[in-house]
Structure 1
Amino acid sequence: MSWSMVSDEMCKAVTASSKVWTMPELVTLIVRGTGWTDWARLCRLNKVASEAARARLYSGHYFGATIRPLLSILAPMERIGDSGFMFTRPLETSDWTRFLGYSKHVIYMYFSDDHMIAPETFCVMDATRPPQDIFPSLRDFADMRVSPCSNYLHNMTFHKRLREFRIRSWIAPLRLLQTLRKAANSLRKLELGTYTMVPDKLTIVELLALIPELHSIDTLSLPSLFVTSDVFDALSRSVSLQEFHLLCSEFDRNPPPPDNSLHYAFRLPADGFSKLCSLTIEHRSPRPHSLLLVTGMKPNMTRLSVQFSCAPDFTGLKKYHAILSGGFSSLTELFITVSQSAEKHEISDSGHAFGLLQPLLVLEHLENFSFNYNAPVSLKDEHIEKMAQAWPLLQYFVFCSDVFYDVHQTELTLACLLSFAEHCPRIDFLMFAIDTTLDPPRQPTDDTVFPPNFSTLTVTNSPILDITSVATYIADLLPISVRLECAVHLDFEGRDIDRSERWESAILLVDALHQASARSLRRSLRAPVSLTAKA
């Protein structure tokens, strides 16, 4: 074979190879089987990949260990001591020219603690980068690290097209909220810090300066300690904010400080929060009802989550429920958590305890309801009946799921389940304690039918003695498709060693009875017919 023929064959091979790298689908298949180290090396050497192919490859997600191969396109990297990976040589203009051809396609980046990049790397990049945006297509950026060098990374990622930003924490000398203002106008979702963060005075001032510049924000999450009356008032003037969530404290690990400045008021004026539909707040005052001020109705508000972290008095909590029911009549989701209580004798009396919940019965649109107290709250079957009648759209019901119930700490019997079957045709999930040692005053009949979508009954921390009678009642009531669970909290296992075992036996017996029960089979077959007739 002549040299000219060999040359022609080589040219054809090169041309064919080049064509391969212009086809996004083939490039994707090639890279799929390539390790991250080889992938980065390939990106540095390959100069013929088409824009379409690059866009297909680099518009994906970069997180954790995949950050390093992306940066390795800029220059080779190696690990330097414990600080992480650093470039092995100075960066040149040609490196940036090559890197920008790839980085311009990146849409999402997530920096976690396992990214293994030395802080100095970002200092070098920020010092040598060209004037244009490094990641112009970046829309979603999360920084879960805690580093004093984060500012250099943020200089390269904050721009006027960024839509979402999340950060776990930041430390001095970084003044994050001032740096963030360059991207404020385009941000739609912003999550700053965790519940453990305690701001200095300058941070609050920076936050007050940032809020008016968040023109497009629709979802905002802040540590509860970041919010003052001034901050809440500033947010109320937002015309785009739809969801505002305070990152609430975990009381056992982070007791509320005694500072009275934290007893600020949540004022919702008639013309404020015009688009707000979801709100999560925390109260650190024993008189929270005096700090919730709702003027006029808030028809857009459909979801509310409230945590009480400082032992609210019983009367004040009842008044609080009346205020929120009057101002947020369109609620479909309501989650209430009382982390610390002051008057436990009130909630041990069923009549008094239900009085705490009674103001909430006017919320006729309620679909999801969760009420958690740090002590057992006693109720009667008739109280469940009233709630089921008041909330016919109910799908999800959780009540005091994190506390241990001894015998006679609630008056609820298994018969209370009948109320959900009779009045809540959309019920899907139930989780609350029942004292199964009490004789149920009512028995299920063939007409007692749970809806087909009912999936789970969790009798959390419930007392049980007679396994057979409990299993027989439940098997007679529940459809075969429903999952029965009993979650005895790990913190309480020592208080009743046999409880978990008895419930496990009861659940097995329910399964066996379902397989043999003609009534269960009849009910399963007729349930859709009954529901259709009612509709």
Structure 2
Amino acid sequence: MSLSRYTLTSLARTSKSLHAVSIHALWEYLEGLGPLLRLLPPGPWTEDPSTSRHGISVRPLYWSRPPDISTNWPHLQHITPPDQVEWTRFNHYAKHVQRLYWQDERDVSPYVLAALSAYRPAGQPLLPQLRELTWDETCEKHFPFVHLFLTPNIRRLKLTLSDFNPPTMMALFEHVGSACKRVDHLTIRTGIIGDEMWESMGVVDNAFTQLLRSLPELRHFIGEGYLPASCIEALAGLPKLAVLELYVHSEEMHMIAPSAFWSSRHGQWFNALENLELYMDQMDGSTVSILSAIQSGKLQELRVGADYQPDTYMLKAHFDIFARAAYRNSLTSLRLHFDRPLHETTPCPALDVAEALEPLYACPHIDILHIRTPSLVASAHALQGIAHAWRLASLSLVSNYYSPTAKSRLTLEGLIPLARHCPDLRELELPVSADAVPDSETLAQLLPAPSRCALRSLAVFDAAIEDAHAVADFLARVFPAISVLQHVCTAEGADWFDTYDSETHDRWATVRRLLLGEVDSPVQWPDDSSESEPESE
């Protein structure tokens, strides 16, 4: 049970025993240094109430001109060197802080940080028990003072690298590498122009590579920006790395592929991975080499995103790799998301799901399969193969863009194998035509026993429909537990008005009301926030 800060404050005033417990809970998490700085005597620093940001009055904290800082602030009257300040209360509460979230701390001036840095040089952190630091600061003047918070106890570290001064960046990596040997969660954001950062700073990427190699306890890494090849190679050699999110340019992929091949020959390429998210420009031979080199036999979740949709042959080549990889028997979740650049106007050739998936059936334990791409064809043959290969919990085969050249060949009848062979199926998203509804005799033949499928959520994309009552009756028999039904039109921009069919939408709205038992409810536009609520006219 979590208590509010007001309750904790009240408990802290009740007795000495409750005070000790409550104070720790009150100070365990901080957003910025303001609360601690206000524990200092009023002489060393002052607050300027004249500054405002976003219409909210703030009180920036300014140190009273530390000896190494020159300033002409007329309102600063006191000049107290940090070593003459009474730090007892500050230090007493600082030792309770275990998590610090620092985001655009404009109410703490660089003068304060400079004074604190003079008082606590590198190796003497302000918050000695800090275990989690999120540094999401965009002010370059604040960036050099991250070292104030780097402690040997830090396990989770998230840094936004928005200062592109190479000496400052290298000093940061050196401080982290020397002070934070126990980091097991590391997130790196490279700021607004992060894609260009590593290209222009070879010395910086070398320093970052050395940092990664010095973190043997690292288990979880997220790189929210394109990383250079040397950093990825360093990550591949970490013995405990289990969760990885990477953004990689094609040029870097080509550089990594030979290293992946030779490292895998010696059994040293991502040996402990359990969850991989890989985002790139396109899937090609380099990604085949890199994904086939992974040595982990524990990889369960694989998510791949690319700016360009691969053709059926290339996707099939990747699935063939998955079927023969070390993680063949551990892979349970596969999510693929492909896009197309905005300047591309030519429709993509439709991805043939049935053909592409053939090698993947050798992975026996898939329970989540998502493929979202500009254009695909999901036929009844594809669903039949999927239904016989896996006991899925979630299936999504979706075209992201409306494509008149890739009409769906999937009908309602094609859904029946999923109902028969996937009793654990909970979510289903498909491009399906509901114009033709199997008659009772056909349905009894294809589904001889009552359906045990646990499907609760169904989304149909660009789905034509004629008889809403017949469709509702079919869905109720095939998916008796269904409670959420959504009809989605994938057209975008100006094309949306040309392709959106209000009559089709109204018919699907009727199906939804029938499934929910709200037959007499009038029609309304769909509410994305609550798909299961009845509609009103």
Q: What's the TM-score bracket when you normalise by the shorter of the two chains?
A: 0.7 to 0.9
Q: Which runs of 5+ in 2 are unaligned?
A: 65-78, 521-537
Distance 1:415 1:168, change over 3 A: farther
Give the equivalent residue in structure 1 for 2:71: none
Could you tell me which amino acid in structure 1 is paired with residue 306 of structure 2? Answer: F
* AA partner of residue 337 (structure 2): T
The yes-or-no answer on 1:73 pairing with 2:65 is no
- 8 Å CA contact 2:11–2:22 kept in 1: the answer is no
The aligned counterpart of 1:252 is none
Q: 1:468–1:506: 8 Å Cα contact kept in structure 2? A: yes
> Which residue, 20, 23, 29 being the options, matches 1:54?
23
Query: For residues 64-463 of structure 1, what are the structure 2 equivalents within 5 Å?
Result: 68-74=34-40, 77-79=47-49, 81=51, 85-87=60-62, 89=64, 92=82, 93-113=84-104, 116-129=107-120, 132-173=124-165, 174-175=168-169, 176-193=172-189, 197-198=194-195, 199=198, 200-223=201-224, 225-228=226-229, 230-247=230-247, 260-261=251-252, 263-266=254-257, 267=260, 269=264, 270-285=267-282, 287-288=284-285, 291-292=289-290, 294-295=292-293, 298-327=296-325, 328-329=327-328, 330-340=330-340, 346-347=349-350, 352-374=352-374, 376-392=375-391, 394-400=392-398, 402-404=400-402, 409-440=407-438, 442-443=442-443, 445=447, 447-452=449-454, 454-463=455-464
Letter in 2 for 1:308: A
Structure 1: 5+ residue runs without aligned partners?
1-24, 35-41, 249-255, 516-535
Q: TM-score, normalised by structure 2?
A: 0.75
Residues 407-449 of structure 1 show CA distances to partners (whole Å, capped at 9, x for unaligned) of: 9711111223322221112211112221222444852657242
Give a deviation string over 1:437-484, Cα, whole Å, max 9, x none: 2444852657242344x3311224433343333223223322255322
Alignment map for 1:21-60 (pairs within 5 Å): 29=7, 31=9, 51-59=20-28
Give the partner amino acid of 2:332: T
Cα gap change, 1:460 to 1:95, in 2 (>3 Å): farther
**1:31 is aligned with what amino acid?**
T
Structure number with higher helix proportion: 1
Of residues 159-168 and 465-474 in structure 1, the stretch that sits farther from structure 2 once superposed is: 465-474
Identical residues among aligned pairs (%): 18
* 8 Å contact kept, 2:189–2:225: no
Name the SS of the counterpart of 1:471 in structure 2. Answer: helix
Deviation, 1:312, is 3.6
Larger deviation: 117-126 or 105-114? 117-126
8 A contact 2:451–2:477 mirrored in 1: no
Q: What residue is the counterpart of 2:479 in the other structure? A: 478
Residues 41-74 of structure 1 show CA distances to partners (whole Å, capped at 9, x for unaligned) of: x9xxxx9996544323211x223xx753343223
CA gap of 1:286–1:385, structure 2 versus 1, over 3 A, is: closer
In the TM superposition, residue 98 of structure 1 has moved relative to its aligned partner by 1.7
1:67 to 1:450, Cα distance in 2 relative to 1, 3 A: farther
Q: Distance in 2 between matches of 1:334 and 1:296?
A: 16
Q: Is the 8 A contact 1:310 1:339 kept in 2?
A: yes
Once the two structures are overlaid, the 10-residue window that deviates more, 476-485 or 209-218, is 476-485
Instruction: Label 1:114 to 1:419 Cα distance change in 2 as closer, same or farther (>3 A).
Output: farther
Q: Distance in 2 between matches of 1:26 and 1:111?
A: 21
Query: 1:417–1:507: structure 2 CA closer, same or farther, 3 Å change rule?
Result: same
Q: How many residues align structurally?
A: 461
Q: Spell out, residue by residue over 1:240-266, the C-alpha distance to the aligned partner (whole angstroms, 9 max, x if none).
A: 111111147xxxxxxx7xx74453335
Tell whether the 8 Å contact from 1:347 to 1:353 is kept in structure 2 after alignment. Answer: no
CA distance, structure 2, for counterparts of residue 507 and residue 53 of structure 1: 51
**Counterpart residue type for residue 466 of structure 1:** D
- Counterpart of 1:509 (choices 492, 508, 514) is 514
Deviates more, 1:439-448 or 1:480-489: 439-448
CA contact (8 A) 2:434 2:465 kept: yes
- What's the offset of the Cα at 1:296? 7.9
